[in-house]
Structure 1
Amino acid sequence: MRPVVSLLLFPSLFGVAAADPAVIASEFIYESGPYPQIHATTIEETAEGLVAAWFGGTKERHPDVGIWVSRQVNGKWTPSVEVANGIQYTLPDGKAVRHPTWNPVLFQPREGPLMLFYKAGPTPQTWWGMLTTSVDHGKTWSTPRRLPEGILGPVKNRPLQLTDGTILCPTSEETPEKPSKWTVHFERTRDHGITWQRTPALHDGLAIQAIQPSLLTRKDGTLLAIGRTRQDRIFTISSADQGVTWSSVRLGNLPNNNSGTDATTLRDGTHLIVYNHVGGLPGKWGGIRTPLNVSVSQDGETWKAALVLEKDLGEYSYPSVIQSKDGLVHITYTWKRQRVKHVVIDPAKLQPKEMMEDGRWPE
C-alpha cells in the first residue's frame, strides 16, 4: 500500500491527468490483491476518513466474486478485506452454494452507520439487493441481510439523503427477454433500510434502454437523474417533488458507450459527471471504455469539458465520485479490471471548455 502520490513528483505515471493543475493526486489503492479482476468501485467519506469498495474475484459473474473494502488511514490505504460474498447455504458435505456479488455502493447518512449496498445473484437480470452496515467507519461490518422482494437498493451510484432524512436510491432493472427492457426507478427508505417504498418503472425500457442513474440537485430544488443507456447518449429525467414522481425519460447531450457513469452536485451548485466521452453502437453492446472524462454543468443539461483522466488504450470505467468535507473531489474507477484508481481533484482549478459543435471533446 502507498499514500496519495503527488503528480509533481511522478508526472509520467499517470498520463494526461498529470498535466492538469486541477489534479492534486493520483494513486492505485493497491498494487496487488487476492483477486485476478476487479470492477465497480465506490467511495465514501466517514468521520474517520475515506472508505472504498469494489467487487473482486476470478472474473465478473464468477461465483467467487466478493465485495472488498479498503480504508484510508493516515494517508495510506489499508489492505482490502472481503466483507460480503454470495454464499447462500452450505451442503452437508461442506460445499457452499454461492453466487457472484455485484456493484457495491457505500453511503454515509447524516446519522447512523455507514451503509454498504450490493447485489447478489447469477446475473443482473436475476440478482437481488443486499445491505450490510458498519458502526465503526468501515472497520467491521454487520451480517448482510437481503432487502425486501422487489427492492434492489441503489444499483450502482450513491443515494441522496433528503432534508427530511429520507434516503432516495437511484436504481434500475434489466429483464431477461430479448430485447431486454432496461428501466429506471427509484426507491426510498425513511428508517435506514428497514422499510421501503418504490416507484414503478418510469418508461418502457425499449425506446430508451436506461440504467444506473446518478442523482443531482438543482439550485431550484428539483432533482435530476442522469446515467447509462444503449442509445449512444446519457439519459436524463427530473422530479419536482423530491423523487415521488418523475418526468419522461429523454436522451441528453453527452455521449455514452453503454458503460457506467457517476455524477454529483458540488456544494457551489455545479454538477460534475465522470464518464467515457465516446459513443457506442445504438442498441448494441457498448463501445470502447476509453477515454475517461470529467465534464461540468450549471444546469445539468449543457456540459463543458473539464478534464481527461485516462486516454490510453484499455478499460477505464465504472467511476464513483464524491466531494469531501474539505471541498476536494474524489474519484475512483476500474483501471483495466486490474486495479482501483483513486484521483483527487480541486474543482476550483478546473478550466472548463466548450464542446466542439459536433459534440467532440475539444482539443
Structure 2
Amino acid sequence: MEFKHLPGLTPDGTIYHNVNMGTLEALIPSGSYQFVKAPSILELPGGDLLCVWSAGSKEGSADESIVCAKLKKGDDHWHKPVKVSRDSKRCEQNPSLFLGPDNAVWVVYTAQSVEVSGKSDMHHTAMIRYQKSFDGGKTWEEPKGLIPDTGSLCSQPILMLKNRRLIFSNWISRDSNTGLSGDPSIFRISDDEGITWKTVFMPESQGRIQANVVELEDGHLISFMRSRLADVIYRSESFDWGSTWSAPVKTVLPNNNTGISALRLKSGRIALAYNQIGVDSQADKKESGYPIAVALSEDNGITWPLIRYVELGEGYVGVENQINNRQYETPYLMQGHNEDLHLVFSYKGRACIKYMRFTEADIIGEKRFAEKE
C-alpha cells in the first residue's frame, strides 16, 4: 500500500507557516551554486530583508563568491540570488552586512588565495574587503580594501556603539606549524566612521575566534566566541567601549568549532544561535553541525535557562550513528524593527540557505518553571 508523501520545503524561496513549531520558514533559492555557507541577514529601513552568503562549486575554490538575495516587505517569497563579488583569482567568504553611517549597505567579507596542492588552509593569505550599495542591494560598487593587514579574517558585522564608535571583530591567521588553534581574536575600532582603524588585541584568545560583540550599558560590552578546540562557547567583557578586553572564559554552552550568532534583544535578554553539540576538547576534531538551537540569557550570558531547538536535522544522536546527520550550521540571528527574530543558516549539507522567522516568546514557550523562593 502506498501512502501520500508528507510535503516538505523546496528551495524556491516560498515562505510557509510551520504550525507545529509556530515559525515561518523558507529555503532560499541557491541558483546554480552547489555549495553555500555562512549567511548574514539585515533589515533595511523600509522593511525589506537582505541575505548574503558565500557560494560556489566547493569551499575554497576560485569560484566561491558572495551572493545576495532579497525578501521584499510584504512578499511571501525570497528572490533568486545575484552575484556581488567577482574576483576570479581569490576565494571570497564569510560575508556580513552593515548599514553604514553614510546610509549605504556595506557587505564586508574575506578574500583569500585558493587552495593549493598539499595545503588546504589559506587563511594566512586573507584580506578584508567591502562593497557598498546605495539602492538597497540592487547594485554594488567595486570592492575596496577595508583592513590592509594580510591574514586578517572576519565573519561578524561591524557594530556601531551608542557613542558612534565602530567596532569590528577579526582574528589573525599566520602560516606556521602551530595550526588553527593559534588564531588570536582582535578588534578593529574606528572613531571616524570607518576612515581609519586601530587594533585592539584580546588577551589569551588563541583559538577563540569570530567574536560576537553585544553592547549592554554605556561602555560595557560582552563578546561570545567560537572555539577552535570544539569544546564550548567562550565569553569576554570590556568596560571601556572595546578599548580593552578580559581573557575569554568558558560558558555552559557547547561549541563544535562552527559559527555562532549573539545579540541583545529589545527585552534586554541575550539571544544566541549555535549548534548544541561539542566534542569534549578533542583538538582539531569537528563534528557535523546539528542541531541548531537558540538560547536566551537573562544575566548577560552567565546562565542560559531558556533553550529551544529550531532545526533538528536528521535526528541521529547516538555515539555510533550521529555521523548520519548532515550539516546545519553557521547560523546568523537578527531582530527586526517589529521585534520578530530572523534566523538564517546553511541547510542540509550546505545545499541551500534556510530562513526562519519567530518571536522571543516562541523560544521561551508558554510555560516555564517558577523561580525558587
TM-score over 0.5 (shorter chain): yes
Match of 2:341 in 1: 329
For 2:351 and 2:357, the matched residues in 1 are separated by 20
TM-score of the aligned structures, taking structure 2 as reference length: 0.83
Report matched runs for 1:195-344 at 5 Å: 195-203=196-204, 205=206, 209-219=207-217, 222-231=220-229, 232-282=231-281, 283-298=283-298, 299-311=300-312, 312=314, 313-335=325-347, 336-344=349-357
SS at match of 1:236: strand
Name the amino acid aligned to 2:195.
I
Name the amino acid aligned to 1:328.
D
For 1:238 and 1:204, the matched residues in 2 are separated by 12
Query: Is the Cα–Cα contact under 8 Å of residues 151 and 173 in structure 2 kept in the other structure?
Result: no
- CA positional deviation for 1:198: 1.4
1:350 to 355, 360, 363: 363
- CA positional deviation for 1:348: 2.5
Query: Is the Cα–Cα contact under 8 Å of residues 105 and 154 in structure 1 kept in the other structure?
Result: no
Match of 1:360 in 2: none
Match of 2:109 in 1: 118
1:4 to 3, 15, 22: 15
Change (3 A) 1:154 1:327: farther
Deviations 1:4-62 (A, max 9, x none): 21113xxxxxxxxxx334x2x011111x4121101010101112310000000010100
Change (3 A) 1:329 1:64: same
Deviations 1:227-279 (A, max 9, x none): 20023011111000110111112222111111111111101111000001111
Gaps of 5+ in 1: 9-18, 88-97, 356-363
Query: Is the Cα–Cα contact under 8 Å of residues 119 and 152 in structure 1 kept in the other structure?
Result: no
Match of 1:11 in 2: none
Query: Is the Cα–Cα contact under 8 Å of residues 331 and 344 in structure 1 kept in the other structure?
Result: yes
SS at match of 1:319: strand
SS at match of 1:349: helix
Change (3 A) 1:167 1:153: farther
For 1:129 and 1:108, the matched residues in 2 are separated by 17
- CA positional deviation for 1:161: 0.8
Question: How much identity, in percent, do the aligned residues show?
Answer: 25
Question: How many corresponding residue pairs?
Answer: 329
For 1:160 and 1:116, the matched residues in 2 are separated by 13
For 1:214 and 1:45, the matched residues in 2 are separated by 18
For 2:16 and 2:102, the matched residues in 1 are separated by 32
Moved more, 270-279 or 106-115: 106-115
Name the amino acid aligned to 1:251.
K
Moved more, 314-323 or 76-85: 76-85
For 1:293 and 1:203, the matched residues in 2 are separated by 28
Query: Is the Cα–Cα contact under 8 Å of residues 328 and 344 in structure 1 kept in the other structure?
Result: yes
TM-score of the aligned structures, taking structure 1 as reference length: 0.85
Change (3 A) 1:200 1:306: closer
Name the amino acid aligned to 2:331.
P
Match of 2:42 in 1: 44
Question: After the TM superposition, which segments of 4 or more aligned residues of structure 1 sit over 6 Å from their partners?
Answer: 151-154, 352-355
Moved more, 56-65 or 344-353: 344-353
For 1:347 and 1:235, the matched residues in 2 are separated by 23
- CA positional deviation for 1:354: 8.9
Match of 1:15 in 2: none
Query: Is the Cα–Cα contact under 8 Å of residues 62 and 91 in structure 2 kept in the other structure?
Result: yes
Query: Is the Cα–Cα contact under 8 Å of residues 43 and 322 in structure 1 kept in the other structure?
Result: yes
